[in-house]
Amino acid sequence: MGQTRASYGTNGERLVAGVVPVSPDRSKVLVIQSARPGGWVLPKGGWELDEASAQQAACREAWEEAGVVCTVLRDLGKINDMRSPSQLTMKAPKVLYQFFEVRVDREEAQWPEMHKRKRQWLTYTQAAAAMATRPELLEALNRSSVKR
């Protein structure tokens, strides 16, 4: 963990891979508790140098944070960091997100961050409301095929 093994983009931004996990009928999306109290987010994290692809990094994050084994259905593309320059710090540098829509193949009873995070299936409306303050997550959600 940590940012020492992180990959960086051509403009020095930290590369972050994430998933929009959709239910088989696409009626719900799986969200996890944010590391910060009270919020719900999509599983995501740094693309590490030893990972061959952003897809590999995204599926690892889905496992670590949500305890799911998943299959990538499609690339939702890159999403720029939408924070203002005043919100960026050395500890929170500019980020370039790459999200993937995934099918959840299995939800495991135990996973690496189970003591830090709960997971929950939400409808599009519930998920959009939960991520209203996170425009980059909302953008990923909106690019997915989850039913509105």
In a domain, residue 40? The reply is yes
Q: How does pLDDT run across 56-107, given as a tens digit for each residue?
A: 999 999 999 999 999 999 999 999 998 888 888 877 778 999 999 999 999 9
In a domain, residue 8? The reply is no
In a domain, residue 41? The reply is yes
- Which pLDDT value is given to residue 2? 45
Q: Residue 15: in which H helix or E strand, if any?
A: strand 14-22
Q: Which range of residues forms the domain containing residue 137? A: 14-143
- Which pLDDT value is given to residue 1? 42
In a domain, residue 9? The reply is no
Over the range 107-134, which residues count as b (16 or more CB within 10 Å of their CB) and which as e? eeeebebeeebebebbebeebbebbeeb
Q: In the chain, how many domains are there?
A: 1
In a domain, residue 89? The reply is yes
Task: Return the CATH number at 124.
Answer: 3.90.79.10
Q: What is the residue whose two structure tokens read 């009626």?
A: 27
Is pTM beyond 0.85 here?
yes
E strand map for 23-94:
29-33, 40-41, 44-46, 68-80
User: Distance between CA 146 and CA 5 in Å, rounded?
Assistant: 33
User: Distance between CA 108 and CA 60 in Å, rounded?
Assistant: 14
Q: How does pLDDT run across 115-141, given as a tens digit for each residue?
A: 999 999 999 999 999 999 999 999 999
In a domain, residue 4? The reply is no
